Amino acid sequence: MISSLIPTWLAQSPTIEELESKVALDSQILTETFYFWTVVIMWLIHVGFMAYEAGAARRKNIMSTAMKNILTIAVVTPTFYYFGWYIYGCFQEGWPKSGHASPDAFEGFCGATAPWSAAMGPNLQDHVSAVFFLAFLLFSWTTGSIMSGALIERVRLSAYLVLTAVLGSVVWIMDAAWGWSSGGWLTTRYGFHDAIASLVVHGVAGAFAFGVLLNLGPRIGKYTTDGLARTFRGHNTHLTLMGLMLIFTGFYGFYAACLVIQSTIFPGWLNIYGSPTTLGAIAFVITIGFAGGFTGGWFASKGDPFWTLSGGLAGVVAVSAGADVYHPSLAYLLSISGGMLAVWAGGFIEKKLRVDDAVGAVAVHGVCGFYGVLLVGIFAGGYPTGINNVPTSFGGQLMGMMAFLPLAFLPGYAISWILKKMNLLRVPAEVELEGLDLAEFGQDFYPEFERVPEIIIEPDGREVASAPVLLDAYWQTNGTPKTPVGVGERS
């Protein structure tokens, strides 16, 4: 009886080829599903940035601040689709093109990234290209959101949208092509290693924002005539802290999306350069990075809530570049230093350079982003990187830093300078004093709450009503505040 069934079973059992085909399809669908969910989780980064920045804004600027984050999606998405993704696919060899430095580079990728490509839609033969595009798109939104917080309460929405489109769809994706891809010239020639985007996302966005801030100038009343910094009190610190926690949650999706999943090939995961790692290692480093960053931020700021949480972000940024290779204890120590560095750099930028970065974005993302790749050169020197297995080195990391600093800073400075000359960068001083929400939207967004006098904190720590201070600053500068560059330079 049983022996008579065996031929039937054999006839029904799949061949090796059929099994291989099924495993390959399952693997593709697993990849598709994985990136899809990283995108979903990464939306939380933008929810978080919106809450974070809106909370840091004064009551009169809440919606204009939040609208920047929302419209980031409206402009970076089409620009990234129409030319940003193409830049990533086609500029990995550098520019002018000199040919891939490795025969293993993904040669056909360029054509698949054009907006008219067969890979950019419901292509039943391609489960991966569309979700991979989306993951990168969410990184692009993140670069814009990093910059947006620095500029709040005085930048024009339209100017910000142009700047964020350039940052999100040209600048950062060019640096990603050069140093955050399997065929990027910085990696295949010099072993540049920035596994989870310390510099290519955070550092570059911070440097671009710094260039914009130099032209944008401080908020009216931010500095005394002696060049000392006053502090504006955000309307809702709880909202800001909740926003930061949402950003942190979204970062787990960000980190996961930085890996390449290959479920049928040992060890199943690669970093962006094609070097093996594991998802667990990455999650381990980000978690201990937050722990160290909070600790460093807390002690350096003497317990300031805003800087403690920002320190957590800075700690993670500082260890991201080497997250695929660091020992957890090393990540803990380095992230503590990153959290402390952000606090000190933030104070230096605000008080010494007198650049009004409203949320410390240049310190947290810019300074710690560059710091992160420098640390890889020190602590992971010799580790083979990328498809050419070029050893990571201090010189290679410096090469990346020297390439990305002008790539980020100069466009930010130049475009904001042009907008400034066209009088399109900053809102009129009168609107800034009254608040952007009334001009942009015609309403106050807490209508059921009584309006109490706005407070400003003087350099000596006194809380005073802001209206006389701001009006005095407005009169002194004739409504055109400049970046104070030295004590006593402003009359």
Partner 1 sequence: MFDAFPYDEWGEDIADFWTFGGHNSTGTWILTVLGFTVMLVAFWGFFILENRKLGHQADRLKASGALDRPSTTTGHGA
Q: Does 443 bind partner 1 (CB under 8 A)?
A: no
How many degrees, rounded to 5, is the angle at CA 280 between CA 309 and CA 307? 5
- Segment holding 391, helix H or strand E: strand 390-391
Q: Does 118 contact partner 1 by CB under 8 A?
A: yes
Residue 434 in the binding site for partner 1 (CB under 8 A): yes
Q: Which stretch binds partner 1 (CB under 8 A): 19-27, 36-44, 431-439, 458-466?
A: 431-439
Neighbours of 264 (CB within 10 A): 12
Helices within 220-278 (DSSP H only): 237-257
Query: Of the candidates 148, 259, 474, 484, which one interacts with partner 1 according to CB under 8 A?
Result: 474
**Contacting partner 1 (CB under 8 A), which of 79, 113, 271, 392?**
79
Question: How far apart are the two ends of the chain, measured CA to CA in Å?
Answer: 105
- The yes or no reply on residue 158 touching partner 1 (CB under 8 A) is yes
In the numeric block, which tokens belong to residue 159?
């100017």
**Which amino acid is located at 232 in the chain?**
F
Q: Nearer to partner 1 by C-beta: 30 or 431?
A: 431
Task: Figure out which of the listed residues 146, 161, 229, 380 binds partner 1, where binding follows CB under 8 A.
Answer: 161
Residue written as token pair 């010189």 = 395
Among 440, 444, 454, 458, binds partner 1 (CB under 8 A): 440
Range 187-206, binding partner 1 (CB under 8 A)? none
CA R_g for the chain: 24
Cα angle value 22/256/34 (rounded, 5°): 30
Give the nearer residue to partner 1 in terms of CB position, either 171 or 200: 171
Q: How far apart are CA 437 and CA 285, in angstroms?
A: 41
Nearer to partner 1, 21 or 123 (CB): 123
Contact between 353 and partner 1 per CB under 8 A: no
CB nearer partner 1, residue 137 or residue 429: 429
Calpha distance 89→174 (Å, rounded) = 9
Query: Which sign, positive or negative, has the C-alpha torsion 109, 114, 118, 124?
Result: positive
Among 18, 20, 430, 463, indicate the residue that binds partner 1 (CB under 8 A): 430
Is residue 117 a contact point for partner 1 (CB under 8 A)? yes
Maximum distance among all Cα pairs of the chain, rounded to whole angstroms:
105
Structure tokens at 380: 């992971």
Residue 116 binds to partner 1 (criterion: CB under 8 A) = yes
Pairing, β 260-261 against β 463-465: unpaired
Q: Could you give the CA distance from residue 140 to residue 48 in angstroms, rounded to a whole number?
A: 15
- Return the number of the residue (154 or 202) whose C-beta is nearest partner 1: 154
Please report whether residue 40 would count as binding partner 1 according to CB under 8 A: no
Q: Is residue 444 at the binding interface for partner 1, with CB under 8 A as the rule?
A: no
Alpha carbons within 13 angstroms on the beta-carbon side of residue 239 total: 17
454 binds partner 1 (CB under 8 A): no
Least separation in angstroms between CB 62 and partner 1:
17
Q: Which of 47, 90, 157, 330 binds partner 1 (CB under 8 A)?
A: 157
Name the burial class of residue 271, with classes exposed (0-12), middle (13-18) and buried (19+) by CB atoms within 10 angstroms of its CB: buried
Q: Residue 129 CB, nearest distance to partner 1 (Å)?
A: 12
Per-residue contact string for residues 232-271; x = within reach of partner 1 by CB under 8 A: ----------------------------------------
Stretch that binds partner 1, among 114-122, 238-246, 373-381, 388-396 (CB under 8 A): 114-122
Is 75 a binder of partner 1 (CB under 8 A)? yes
Token pair of 376, please? 């890889």
One-letter identity of residue 96 = P
Q: How far is the CB of 117 from partner 1 (least distance, A)?
A: 6
Q: How far is the CB of 17 from partner 1 (least distance, A)?
A: 28
Residue 108, classified by CB atoms within 10 Å of its CB into exposed (0-12), middle (13-18) or buried (19+), is exposed
Interface ranges with partner 1 (CB under 8 A): 71, 74-75, 78-79, 82, 114-118, 121-123, 156-158, 161-162, 165, 424, 427-431, 433-434, 438-440, 471, 474-475
